[in-house]
Amino acid sequence: MLAAVMYTQGLPTPYEHSQPFRIEEVDLEGPADDEVLVEIRAAGLCHSDLSQVAGLRKRKVPVVGGHEGAGIVREVGRNVNTLKEGDHVVMVGVSDCGHCQMCIENRPVLCNSVAWSRSQGLLPNGNRKLSRQGMPLNHYSGVSSFAQYAVTMPQTLIKVDPAVPLDIVAMFGCAVVTGAGSVFNAAQVRPGQNVVVFGLGGVGLNAVMAAKLSNADRIIGVDIHESKFALARELGCTDCVLATDPDIVPRIKELTQGGVDFAFEVSGSKPAMATAVAVTRKGGEIIGVGLGASGDLYSYDHAQLVAEEKVIRGSFLGSGVPARDLPLYVDYFQTGRLPVDRLKSGTMGFEQLNKNLDMLDKGDVVRQILLP
Ligand code: APR
Ligand code: ZN
Ligand code: ZN
């Protein structure tokens, strides 16, 4: 099959020229008893892919990229009884083992054993299915959706209504589950509360839509690109402020009578995190959703932390239970409450993948969908 393979992290921009992804013929071993073969019909390009290419987060190479995907089940191992040939599925970069401490606490996205297999470039059962001319290739988050087919664990796949187009379904696996989940599960925004979202990309706009669906009062969008504001307003932002506005802190405080209840940092940017803390009211919460560069550190005034009782917390992949949440989000989409289709900027073939990394890097697109 054809797949996008990355051999080196940290190649320079423009990626159109340095070509971090090479489109190659690779071998995929068929599914074992506890695995599933999926024909991938669509794969979203996320900012995390860009971080991986840039080398901000180290992963094992060579690796077949991609962690947002959707497709059709083509073969199931004999021990798999939750899916069957022909099912339409969305891929999620988690696969809970069911018995570690995190899984027992019903926090499957934090599953300890998946964290291990992810770091090793393996499937959660420890298998490796990808190779090229006998050379082993790594899996990316147990998904590797920049390919024509994938073999995954059944827990990575969530069955969806075949009536929903697969190029839209693909976005649910990361952008929707992460952005909407940060609002519904991590923050649990109540009607009338005020929120700000830093970073109006595929993930941030899902937080905006979820805040609207939660009947938040003020939904303030912040970005470094003014071009992001029109769509953000359409999807729920009541106000938009440029991250570079020197008066950003007093402006947001004024709009919210002293500060927001929840600040969502969805750009992975260190300066945005500092602003997020500054615009949050006493006792409010700052929720880090965007994955920054590993090693980035924040500082916080100790006395202020105590006296103001602000909470800083992380939210990974929506802090929920994907198998429970995703069907609900798909239903919200089908009933017009979560217009995820508005996030799709366009489609690409394999040959435009590197160029599309540059487009995402420049902030020119929201979600570009690879049709392998
Ligand atoms: N302040 C506000 N917005 C910013 C800043 C900043 N300092 N820096 C960048 N942005 C904006 C970009 O202009 C862009 O619109 O953040 C947005 C990020 O959007 P995308 O590139 O589309 O990224 P997305 O795929 O939504 O992912 C966002 O979530 O999953 C994580 O690792 C991923 O960190 C990434 C984040
Ligand atoms: Zn992602
Ligand atoms: Zn587990």
Q: How far is the CA of 277 from the centre of ligand 1 (A)?
A: 17
d(CA 177, CA 140): 18
DSSP conformational letter for 226: G
**Residue 56 in contact with ligand 1 by CB distance below 6 A:** no
Is the model's pLDDT at 57 over the cut of 90?
no
Ion ligand 2: residue ranges with CB closer than 5 A? 46, 48, 174
Is the model's pLDDT at 58 over the cut of 90?
no
Convert the pLDDT of each residue in 97-140 to its tens digit.
Answer: 899 999 999 999 999 988 889 999 999 999 999 999 999 999 99
Return the ligand number nearest the Cα of 141: 2
Q: How far is the CA of 322 from the centre of ligand 3 (A)?
A: 14
Mean pLDDT of 55-76: 96
**Percent of the chain's residues with pLDDT above 70:** 100
| 3-class SS of residue 57 | coil
- Hey, how many other C-beta atoms are within 10 angstroms of the C-beta on 363? 15
Q: How confident is the model at residue 9 (pLDDT cuts 50, 70, 90)?
A: very high
Looking at residue 204, its amino acid is: G
pLDDT for the residue numbered 66: 98
Minimum CA distance residue for ligand 1 atom 35: 290
- Least-confidence region, from 92-96, 188-192, 340-344, 345-349: 92-96
pLDDT for the residue numbered 180: 98
**Residue 178 in contact with ligand 1 by CB distance below 6 A:** yes
Looking at residue 4, its amino acid is: A
Minimum CA distance residue for ligand 1 atom 34: 290
DSSP conformational letter for 141: T
pLDDT for the residue numbered 295: 87
Q: Tell me the C-alpha to C-alpha distance, in Å, between residue 265 and each of 17, 74, 276.
A: 31, 38, 7
Mean pLDDT of 215-243: 98
pLDDT for the residue numbered 229: 98
Residue 56 or residue 194, greater confidence: 194
CA dihedral sign, ordered 326, 329, 335, 341: negative
Between β-strands 21-25 and 2-6, what pairing exists: parallel, antiparallel or unpaired? antiparallel
Q: Tell me the C-alpha to C-alpha distance, in Å, between residue 17 and each of 22, 61, 142, 355, 358.
A: 12, 20, 28, 8, 10
User: What stretches of 271-310 adopt beta strand conformation (E)?
Assistant: 280-288
**Residue 225 in contact with ligand 1 by CB distance below 6 A:** yes
pLDDT for the residue numbered 364: 97
Q: How far is the CA of 100 from the centre of ligand 3 (A)?
A: 4
pLDDT for the residue numbered 354: 98
pLDDT for the residue numbered 125: 94
Residue of 167, 166, 184 whose CA lies nearest to 89: 166
Residues 6+ apart with CB under 8 A from 228: 200, 201, 221, 240, 363, 366
Mutation pick for ligand 1 pocket among 15, 47, 287 (CB with most ligand atoms within 8 Å)? 47
Q: How confident is the model at residue 8 (pLDDT cuts 50, 70, 90)?
A: very high
Atom of ligand 1 at shortest distance to CA of 178? 30
**Percent of the chain's residues with pLDDT above 90:** 94
Minimum CA distance residue for ligand 1 atom 20: 201
Return the ligand number nearest the Cα of 228: 1
Q: How far is the CA of 91 from the centre of ligand 1 (A)?
A: 22
Q: What is the mean pLDDT of the chain?
A: 97
Is the model's pLDDT at 293 over the cut of 90?
no
pLDDT for the residue numbered 95: 80
Between β-strands 239-242 and 219-223, what pairing exists: parallel, antiparallel or unpaired? parallel
Q: How confident is the model at residue 155 (pLDDT cuts 50, 70, 90)?
A: very high
pTM score, two decimals? 0.97
Atom of ligand 1 at shortest distance to CA of 267? 16
Residue 106 burial (10 A CB sphere; 0-12, 13-18, 19+): exposed
**Residue 47 in contact with ligand 1 by CB distance below 6 A:** yes
Convert the pLDDT of each residue in 161-170 to its tens digit.
Answer: 999 999 999 9
Return the ligand number nearest the Cα of 173: 2
DSSP conformational letter for 146: S
Is the model's pLDDT at 201 over the cut of 90?
yes
> Are 90 and 172 contacting, i.e. CB atoms less than 8 angstroms apart?
yes
> Are 79 and 155 contacting, i.e. CB atoms less than 8 angstroms apart?
no
d(CA 205, CA 343): 8
| 3-class SS of residue 346 | strand
Length of the chain: 372
Residues 6+ apart with CB under 8 A from 303: none
Minimum CA distance residue for ligand 1 atom 31: 290
pLDDT for the residue numbered 176: 98
pLDDT for the residue numbered 290: 96
Q: What is the ipTM of this complex?
A: 0.98
Beta bridge partners of 5: 22, 64
Residue of 48, 10, 93 whose CA lies nearest to 322: 93
